[in-house]
Structure 1
Amino acid sequence: MPAENAPVAGNLDDDDYPAYTMGRAADVLGTTPAFLRAIGEAELITPLRSEGGHRRYSRRQLRMAARARELVDQGTPIEAACRIISLEDQLDDALRLNREMRRKLDEHDADT
């Protein structure tokens, strides 16, 4: 495989690679581009921009958008839904960090 293709192949597994256009992202989520713009304005996700200035979304961003859509469909205002998801994301990060620290502590205790 040529070297110039290697980075592209690596992007297939990258949850943060901005692979989806706004139209495709809206289709995948069953929503509208306006919804994606709204959650962007609420600062839940910040799509990357193509060289032409078009919004591009990653799989991770689509998962967050799908969660926002779920909450909004249940009657949660969009700003509140975005805040809830942001807090859930922070909690996940904190729990992951806690697990890593406990694992390191357990490894340290086992070595002593």
Structure 2
Amino acid sequence: MVRLPFDDEHAPLYSVGQVADMLNVEQAFLRRLDEYDVVRPARSPGGQRRYTRHEIGHLQNAISLIGEGMSLTAVRRIFELQQEIADLRAELARERAAREADRG
């Protein structure tokens, strides 16, 4: 069976207007999140922002954090630290797997 683009959560399919409607926010707010490197969507060949389902999840998290009083800079840093933790966990899992393979 052929996988379609909407099956891939990392496929850039959604326009700023669509995402703004989905999340009930202003388009300018989404552009501001892009300017602050909180969520940087891909660009279409015409230069329009295109969001993935994965990025929409990040936007939802950002909106929640902002609602709790976090600044855009703080939200960006939280996202950076979350990514660093995920990367370190993946590295640790690889090292553990390599050690297990050496023992076996």
TM-score range, shorter chain: 0.7 to 0.9
How far off its partner does 1:91 sit?
Answer: 1.0
Q: Of the candidates 1, 5, 18, which is equivalent to residue 24 of structure 1? A: 18
Q: Of the candidates 62, 65, 74, which is equivalent to residue 80 of structure 1? A: 74
Aligned-residue CA RMSD (Å)? 1.8
CA distance in 1, matches of 2:9, 2:92: 23
Structure 2 unmatched runs, 5+: none
CA distance in 2, matches of 1:93, 1:30: 32
Give identity over the alignment, percent.
31
Q: 1:107 to 1:86 in 2, by over 3 A?
A: same
Count of residue correspondences: 104
2:40 matches 1:58: no
Letter of the 2:89 partner, please give it. L
2:97 matches 1:103: yes
CA distance in 2, matches of 1:29, 1:105: 45
Do the aligned partners of 2:16 and 2:49 also contact (CA within 8 Å) in 1? yes
TM-score, structure 2 as length reference: 0.85
Structure 1 unmatched runs, 5+: none
Show structure 1 runs of 4+ deviating over 6 A.
Answer: none
How far off its partner does 1:10 sit?
Answer: 4.3
User: Which structure 2 residues correspond to residues 40-59 of structure 1 after superposition, within 5 A?
Assistant: 40-59=34-53
Do the aligned partners of 2:38 and 2:72 also contact (CA within 8 Å) in 1? no
CA distance in 2, matches of 1:58, 1:83: 21
For the pair shown, which has the larger CA radius of gyration, 1 or 2? Answer: 1
